Amino acid sequence: MKKVIITGVTGQDGSLMADYLLKNTDYEIYGAIRRLSVDNHKNILHLKKEPRFTLVNLDLNDAHSIRDVIMDVDPDFFINFGAQSFVGRSWNYPIQTWITDADAVLHILESIRRFCPDCRFYNAGSSEEFGNVICTPQNESHPLRPQSPYGAAKCAARHIVRVYRESYNLYAIQGWLFNHEGPRRGQDFVTRKITSNIARIKHSIESGIAFEPLELGNISTKRDWTDATDMMEGIWLMLNAETPKNYVLSSGQLHSIREFLHETLKCSNIPFSIEGEDENEKYLYKNKTPIMVVNPEFYRPAEVHKLCGDYSLAKKDLGWEPKVKFQDLVKKMYDNDYELLKSAI
Protein backbone atom coordinates (compact mmCIF):
# COMPACT_ATOMS: atom_id res chain seq x y z
CA MET A 1 0.00 0.00 0.00
CA LYS A 2 1.34 3.49 -0.87
CA LYS A 3 2.31 5.84 1.90
CA VAL A 4 1.86 9.60 2.21
CA ILE A 5 3.49 11.86 4.79
CA ILE A 6 1.63 15.10 5.50
CA THR A 7 3.29 17.77 7.64
CA GLY A 8 1.11 20.43 9.27
CA VAL A 9 -1.61 17.82 9.65
CA THR A 10 -3.24 19.60 12.59
CA GLY A 11 -3.81 22.70 10.44
CA GLN A 12 -6.53 23.47 7.90
CA ASP A 13 -4.79 22.13 4.80
CA GLY A 14 -3.08 19.13 6.40
CA SER A 15 -6.26 17.83 8.00
CA LEU A 16 -8.30 18.43 4.84
CA MET A 17 -5.70 16.61 2.74
CA ALA A 18 -5.80 13.65 5.15
CA ASP A 19 -9.61 13.58 4.79
CA TYR A 20 -9.33 13.84 1.01
CA LEU A 21 -6.82 10.99 0.69
CA LEU A 22 -8.65 8.70 3.10
CA LYS A 23 -11.77 9.19 1.02
CA ASN A 24 -10.26 9.03 -2.46
CA THR A 25 -7.34 6.56 -2.16
CA ASP A 26 -6.51 3.40 -0.22
CA TYR A 27 -3.14 4.85 0.85
CA GLU A 28 -1.71 4.97 4.35
CA ILE A 29 -1.46 8.47 5.74
CA TYR A 30 1.26 9.53 8.15
CA GLY A 31 0.30 12.79 9.82
CA ALA A 32 3.42 14.54 11.06
CA ILE A 33 3.02 16.50 14.29
CA ARG A 34 5.34 18.62 16.39
CA ARG A 35 5.16 18.19 20.15
CA LEU A 36 3.47 21.14 21.84
CA SER A 37 2.56 21.59 25.48
CA VAL A 38 -0.99 22.51 24.46
CA ASP A 39 -3.25 20.24 22.47
CA ASN A 40 -3.93 21.53 18.94
CA HIS A 41 -5.56 18.37 17.56
CA LYS A 42 -9.13 19.59 17.09
CA ASN A 43 -8.94 19.29 13.29
CA ILE A 44 -7.84 15.64 13.42
CA LEU A 45 -9.83 14.26 16.38
CA HIS A 46 -12.12 12.45 13.92
CA LEU A 47 -9.10 10.64 12.39
CA LYS A 48 -7.67 9.13 15.52
CA LYS A 49 -9.53 5.81 15.19
CA GLU A 50 -8.91 5.58 11.45
CA PRO A 51 -6.70 2.48 10.80
CA ARG A 52 -5.02 4.06 7.77
CA PHE A 53 -4.04 7.19 9.71
CA THR A 54 -0.91 7.25 11.92
CA LEU A 55 0.63 10.16 13.79
CA VAL A 56 4.42 10.54 13.64
CA ASN A 57 6.62 13.04 15.47
CA LEU A 58 8.48 15.37 13.17
CA ASP A 59 9.86 18.82 13.84
CA LEU A 60 10.56 20.77 10.66
CA ASN A 61 13.20 22.77 12.52
CA ASP A 62 15.22 19.62 13.20
CA ALA A 63 16.84 18.05 10.13
CA HIS A 64 17.50 14.79 12.01
CA SER A 65 13.85 14.33 12.81
CA ILE A 66 12.92 14.91 9.15
CA ARG A 67 15.51 12.34 8.05
CA ASP A 68 14.44 9.76 10.67
CA VAL A 69 10.77 9.93 9.67
CA ILE A 70 11.57 9.72 5.96
CA MET A 71 13.84 6.70 6.55
CA ASP A 72 11.27 4.96 8.79
CA VAL A 73 8.22 5.52 6.61
CA ASP A 74 9.86 5.40 3.15
CA PRO A 75 6.99 7.46 1.68
CA ASP A 76 5.65 7.53 -1.88
CA PHE A 77 4.43 11.10 -1.39
CA PHE A 78 5.55 13.86 0.95
CA ILE A 79 3.17 16.82 1.26
CA ASN A 80 4.65 19.72 3.21
CA PHE A 81 1.96 21.95 4.69
CA GLY A 82 3.90 22.62 7.89
CA ALA A 83 4.88 26.28 7.98
CA GLN A 84 4.73 29.57 9.78
CA SER A 85 1.74 30.31 7.59
CA PHE A 86 0.59 33.70 8.82
CA VAL A 87 1.91 36.59 6.73
CA GLY A 88 1.16 39.20 9.41
CA ARG A 89 3.25 37.39 12.03
CA SER A 90 6.21 36.94 9.68
CA TRP A 91 7.40 40.47 10.52
CA ASN A 92 7.41 39.53 14.23
CA TYR A 93 9.19 36.19 13.66
CA PRO A 94 11.23 36.58 10.47
CA ILE A 95 13.94 34.09 11.46
CA GLN A 96 11.51 31.42 12.63
CA THR A 97 9.53 31.98 9.43
CA TRP A 98 12.67 31.56 7.34
CA ILE A 99 13.84 28.42 9.16
CA THR A 100 10.43 26.73 8.94
CA ASP A 101 9.32 27.89 5.49
CA ALA A 102 12.65 27.81 3.60
CA ASP A 103 15.42 25.91 5.43
CA ALA A 104 13.15 22.98 6.33
CA VAL A 105 12.23 22.51 2.66
CA LEU A 106 15.89 22.01 1.84
CA HIS A 107 16.22 19.45 4.65
CA ILE A 108 13.23 17.53 3.29
CA LEU A 109 14.60 17.62 -0.26
CA GLU A 110 18.00 16.37 0.92
CA SER A 111 16.43 13.43 2.76
CA ILE A 112 14.21 12.57 -0.20
CA ARG A 113 17.20 12.73 -2.57
CA ARG A 114 19.30 10.49 -0.36
CA PHE A 115 16.78 7.97 0.97
CA CYS A 116 13.69 7.84 -1.28
CA PRO A 117 14.32 9.61 -4.62
CA ASP A 118 11.11 8.20 -6.14
CA CYS A 119 8.99 9.96 -3.53
CA ARG A 120 6.85 12.75 -5.01
CA PHE A 121 7.18 16.00 -3.06
CA TYR A 122 4.72 18.88 -2.81
CA ASN A 123 5.63 22.08 -1.03
CA ALA A 124 2.95 24.64 -0.15
CA GLY A 125 3.53 27.70 -2.32
CA SER A 126 1.63 30.95 -2.07
CA SER A 127 0.23 33.86 -4.06
CA GLU A 128 2.21 36.00 -1.58
CA GLU A 129 5.25 35.12 -3.70
CA PHE A 130 3.79 37.40 -6.42
CA GLY A 131 3.53 40.16 -3.81
CA ASN A 132 3.77 43.59 -5.37
CA VAL A 133 2.00 42.48 -8.54
CA ILE A 134 2.64 44.01 -11.97
CA CYS A 135 -0.52 42.69 -13.66
CA THR A 136 -3.88 41.17 -12.77
CA PRO A 137 -4.76 38.32 -12.75
CA GLN A 138 -1.50 36.54 -12.01
CA ASN A 139 -0.56 33.31 -13.72
CA GLU A 140 2.48 31.00 -13.57
CA SER A 141 4.70 33.43 -15.49
CA HIS A 142 4.20 36.38 -13.12
CA PRO A 143 7.55 37.35 -11.54
CA LEU A 144 8.26 36.69 -7.86
CA ARG A 145 7.98 40.03 -6.01
CA PRO A 146 7.39 39.14 -2.35
CA GLN A 147 6.41 41.86 0.11
CA SER A 148 6.82 40.04 3.44
CA PRO A 149 9.33 37.77 5.19
CA TYR A 150 6.76 35.00 4.62
CA GLY A 151 6.60 35.65 0.85
CA ALA A 152 10.40 35.86 0.60
CA ALA A 153 10.84 32.53 2.42
CA LYS A 154 8.32 30.85 0.10
CA CYS A 155 10.22 32.22 -2.93
CA ALA A 156 13.49 30.80 -1.57
CA ALA A 157 11.77 27.43 -1.12
CA ARG A 158 10.42 27.61 -4.68
CA HIS A 159 13.93 28.10 -6.09
CA ILE A 160 15.44 25.22 -4.14
CA VAL A 161 12.55 22.91 -5.10
CA ARG A 162 13.23 23.71 -8.76
CA VAL A 163 16.99 23.27 -8.36
CA TYR A 164 16.49 19.82 -6.81
CA ARG A 165 13.92 18.86 -9.44
CA GLU A 166 16.29 19.81 -12.25
CA SER A 167 19.54 18.62 -10.65
CA TYR A 168 18.37 15.26 -9.35
CA ASN A 169 15.35 14.57 -11.51
CA LEU A 170 13.05 14.55 -8.47
CA TYR A 171 9.28 14.89 -8.76
CA ALA A 172 9.29 18.02 -6.60
CA ILE A 173 6.75 20.83 -7.06
CA GLN A 174 5.34 23.92 -5.39
CA GLY A 175 1.95 25.17 -6.59
CA TRP A 176 0.88 28.78 -6.19
CA LEU A 177 -2.20 28.58 -4.02
CA PHE A 178 -4.18 31.76 -3.59
CA ASN A 179 -5.96 32.33 -0.26
CA HIS A 180 -8.08 29.35 0.69
CA GLU A 181 -10.50 29.28 3.53
CA GLY A 182 -13.04 27.22 5.42
CA PRO A 183 -14.29 26.35 8.90
CA ARG A 184 -10.86 24.96 9.86
CA ARG A 185 -9.02 28.18 8.98
CA GLY A 186 -6.96 29.61 11.86
CA GLN A 187 -8.61 32.52 13.68
CA ASP A 188 -5.73 34.90 12.88
CA PHE A 189 -6.67 34.98 9.20
CA VAL A 190 -9.06 37.75 8.28
CA THR A 191 -11.91 35.57 6.93
CA ARG A 192 -12.20 33.40 10.04
CA LYS A 193 -11.60 36.40 12.28
CA ILE A 194 -14.63 38.04 10.66
CA THR A 195 -16.95 35.02 10.71
CA SER A 196 -16.10 34.04 14.31
CA ASN A 197 -16.48 37.59 15.61
CA ILE A 198 -19.73 38.30 13.80
CA ALA A 199 -21.08 34.98 15.16
CA ARG A 200 -20.01 36.11 18.65
CA ILE A 201 -21.75 39.48 18.21
CA LYS A 202 -24.89 37.80 16.86
CA HIS A 203 -25.07 35.59 19.97
CA SER A 204 -24.65 38.63 22.20
CA ILE A 205 -27.43 40.48 20.39
CA GLU A 206 -29.72 37.43 20.67
CA SER A 207 -28.92 37.13 24.39
CA GLY A 208 -29.37 40.88 24.98
CA ILE A 209 -25.84 41.34 26.31
CA ALA A 210 -23.23 43.99 25.51
CA PHE A 211 -20.45 43.12 23.06
CA GLU A 212 -17.01 44.35 22.05
CA PRO A 213 -16.61 45.27 18.37
CA LEU A 214 -14.58 43.31 15.86
CA GLU A 215 -11.30 45.15 15.12
CA LEU A 216 -9.77 44.94 11.66
CA GLY A 217 -6.84 46.48 9.79
CA ASN A 218 -6.90 47.53 6.15
CA ILE A 219 -10.34 46.50 4.86
CA SER A 220 -9.79 47.87 1.35
CA THR A 221 -7.28 45.17 0.35
CA LYS A 222 -8.56 42.53 -2.06
CA ARG A 223 -8.05 38.80 -2.13
CA ASP A 224 -9.00 35.81 -4.26
CA TRP A 225 -10.61 33.31 -1.87
CA THR A 226 -11.22 29.65 -2.68
CA ASP A 227 -12.75 26.89 -0.56
CA ALA A 228 -9.80 24.96 0.93
CA THR A 229 -11.46 21.59 0.18
CA ASP A 230 -11.41 22.43 -3.56
CA MET A 231 -7.66 23.10 -3.33
CA MET A 232 -6.87 19.59 -2.03
CA GLU A 233 -8.10 18.02 -5.23
CA GLY A 234 -5.93 20.42 -7.27
CA ILE A 235 -2.81 19.59 -5.28
CA TRP A 236 -3.42 15.85 -5.63
CA LEU A 237 -3.87 16.22 -9.41
CA MET A 238 -0.60 18.21 -9.57
CA LEU A 239 1.20 15.48 -7.64
CA ASN A 240 -0.10 12.73 -9.91
CA ALA A 241 0.48 14.38 -13.28
CA GLU A 242 2.82 12.91 -15.86
CA THR A 243 5.42 15.65 -15.48
CA PRO A 244 6.23 17.71 -12.40
CA LYS A 245 4.91 21.23 -12.96
CA ASN A 246 3.77 24.13 -10.78
CA TYR A 247 0.26 25.51 -11.23
CA VAL A 248 -1.74 28.47 -9.96
CA LEU A 249 -4.88 27.38 -8.08
CA SER A 250 -7.37 30.15 -7.35
CA SER A 251 -10.99 31.22 -7.79
CA GLY A 252 -10.15 33.96 -10.30
CA GLN A 253 -12.46 36.34 -8.40
CA LEU A 254 -11.46 39.41 -6.45
CA HIS A 255 -13.25 40.58 -3.29
CA SER A 256 -12.25 43.17 -0.70
CA ILE A 257 -12.11 42.47 3.03
CA ARG A 258 -15.02 44.93 3.25
CA GLU A 259 -17.07 42.73 0.89
CA PHE A 260 -16.29 39.65 2.99
CA LEU A 261 -17.53 41.54 6.05
CA HIS A 262 -20.73 42.60 4.24
CA GLU A 263 -21.41 39.05 3.11
CA THR A 264 -20.91 37.73 6.66
CA LEU A 265 -23.23 40.39 8.08
CA LYS A 266 -25.79 39.37 5.47
CA CYS A 267 -25.58 35.74 6.69
CA SER A 268 -26.03 36.92 10.29
CA ASN A 269 -29.03 39.18 9.54
CA ILE A 270 -27.55 41.83 11.85
CA PRO A 271 -28.77 45.22 10.58
CA PHE A 272 -25.90 47.69 10.27
CA SER A 273 -25.02 51.21 9.18
CA ILE A 274 -21.63 52.58 8.12
CA GLU A 275 -19.93 55.74 9.37
CA GLY A 276 -16.60 57.33 8.36
CA GLU A 277 -14.06 56.21 5.80
CA ASP A 278 -10.88 54.11 5.65
CA GLU A 279 -9.04 54.33 8.99
CA ASN A 280 -12.10 55.94 10.60
CA GLU A 281 -14.60 53.53 9.11
CA LYS A 282 -17.07 52.04 11.61
CA TYR A 283 -19.96 49.60 11.29
CA LEU A 284 -22.75 50.30 13.75
CA TYR A 285 -25.68 48.33 15.14
CA LYS A 286 -28.83 50.43 15.66
CA ASN A 287 -26.78 53.42 14.47
CA LYS A 288 -24.75 53.57 17.67
CA THR A 289 -23.13 50.34 18.96
CA PRO A 290 -19.92 49.52 17.03
CA ILE A 291 -19.87 46.10 15.36
CA MET A 292 -16.59 46.71 13.53
CA VAL A 293 -13.95 49.41 14.00
CA VAL A 294 -10.71 49.83 12.08
CA ASN A 295 -7.64 49.59 14.28
CA PRO A 296 -4.42 50.71 12.54
CA GLU A 297 -2.52 48.28 14.79
CA PHE A 298 -3.63 45.57 12.37
CA TYR A 299 -2.11 47.36 9.37
CA ARG A 300 1.01 45.64 8.03
CA PRO A 301 4.46 47.20 7.51
CA ALA A 302 4.07 46.41 3.79
CA GLU A 303 0.82 45.37 2.18
CA VAL A 304 -0.13 43.29 -0.84
CA HIS A 305 -3.17 45.25 -1.98
CA LYS A 306 -4.65 42.98 -4.59
CA LEU A 307 -4.15 39.29 -5.41
CA CYS A 308 -6.17 37.54 -8.09
CA GLY A 309 -5.15 34.28 -9.73
CA ASP A 310 -5.56 32.96 -13.26
CA TYR A 311 -6.03 29.19 -12.93
CA SER A 312 -6.59 28.54 -16.66
CA LEU A 313 -3.46 26.37 -17.02
CA ALA A 314 -4.59 24.06 -14.19
CA LYS A 315 -7.99 23.87 -15.86
CA LYS A 316 -6.48 23.00 -19.23
CA ASP A 317 -3.84 20.50 -18.06
CA LEU A 318 -5.42 18.99 -14.95
CA GLY A 319 -9.13 19.60 -15.53
CA TRP A 320 -9.23 21.41 -12.16
CA GLU A 321 -11.79 24.08 -11.32
CA PRO A 322 -13.00 25.50 -8.00
CA LYS A 323 -16.54 24.35 -7.18
CA VAL A 324 -17.68 26.34 -4.13
CA LYS A 325 -18.93 29.90 -4.73
CA PHE A 326 -17.80 32.90 -2.63
CA GLN A 327 -21.24 33.41 -1.00
CA ASP A 328 -21.48 29.69 -0.10
CA LEU A 329 -17.98 29.73 1.38
CA VAL A 330 -18.79 32.71 3.62
CA LYS A 331 -22.07 31.11 4.69
CA LYS A 332 -20.39 27.80 5.48
CA MET A 333 -17.80 29.55 7.66
CA TYR A 334 -20.32 31.80 9.43
CA ASP A 335 -22.79 28.94 10.08
CA ASN A 336 -19.99 26.80 11.50
CA ASP A 337 -18.84 29.56 13.88
CA TYR A 338 -22.43 30.29 14.94
CA GLU A 339 -23.07 26.59 15.67
CA LEU A 340 -19.76 26.21 17.54
CA LEU A 341 -20.78 29.03 19.90
CA LYS A 342 -24.28 27.64 20.29
CA SER A 343 -23.01 24.19 21.24
CA ALA A 344 -20.56 25.78 23.74
CA ILE A 345 -23.38 27.53 25.64
Please select the residue that binds ligand GDP; options are 87, 153, 199, 314, rule is CB under 6 A. 87
Nearer to ligand GDP, 218 or 226 (CB): 218
Q: Are 274 and 283 in contact (CB under 8 A)?
A: yes
Q: Which residues contact 300 (CB under 8 A, 6 or more apart)?
A: 87, 88, 91, 148, 217, 218
Percentages helix, strand, coil for the chain (3-state, rounded to 5) are 45, 15, 40
Closest distance to ligand GDP from the beta carbon of 216 (Å) = 4
Phi, psi of 114 (to 5 degrees): -80, -35
- When asked if residue 248 is in the footprint of ligand GDP (CB under 6 A), the reply is no
Closest distance to ligand GDP from the beta carbon of 65 (Å) = 27
Q: Please state whether the peptide bond connecting residue 137 to the residue before it is cis, i.e. omega within 30 degrees of 0.
A: yes
Q: Which of 305, 304, 257, 302 is nearest to 94 (CA)?
A: 302
Q: Which three-class secondary structure string do you get for 265-300?
A: HHHHCCCCEEECCHHHCEEEECCCEEEEEECHHHCC
Q: What is the end-to-end Cα distance of the chain in Å, rounded?
A: 44
Closest distance to ligand GDP from the beta carbon of 305 (Å) = 7
Nearer to ligand GDP, 84 or 111 (CB): 84
Closest distance to ligand GDP from the beta carbon of 338 (Å) = 20
Nearer to ligand GDP, 82 or 217 (CB): 217
- When asked if residue 193 is in the footprint of ligand GDP (CB under 6 A), the reply is yes
Closest distance to ligand GDP from the beta carbon of 167 (Å) = 31
Closest distance to ligand GDP from the beta carbon of 88 (Å) = 5
Binding mask 196-235 for ligand GDP (x = CB under 6 A): --------------------xxxx-x-x------------
Q: Are 342 and 335 in contact (CB under 8 A)?
A: no
Nearer to ligand GDP, 109 or 124 (CB): 124
Residues in the chain: 345
Q: Which of 171, 181, 179 is nearest to 238 (CA)?
A: 171
Edge to edge, the sheet with strand 273-275 lists: 214-216, 289-294, 282-285, 273-275
Closest distance to ligand GDP from the beta carbon of 185 (Å) = 8
- When asked if residue 184 is in the footprint of ligand GDP (CB under 6 A), the reply is no
Please select the residue that binds ligand GDP; options are 20, 91, 211, 298, rule is CB under 6 A. 298
Nearer to ligand GDP, 142 or 193 (CB): 193
- Stretch of 25-33, 69-77, 182-190, 309-317 lying at the interface with ligand GDP (CB under 6 A): 182-190
Binding footprint of ligand GDP on the chain (CB under 6 A): 87-88, 128, 179, 188-191, 193, 216-219, 221, 223, 257, 298, 300, 303
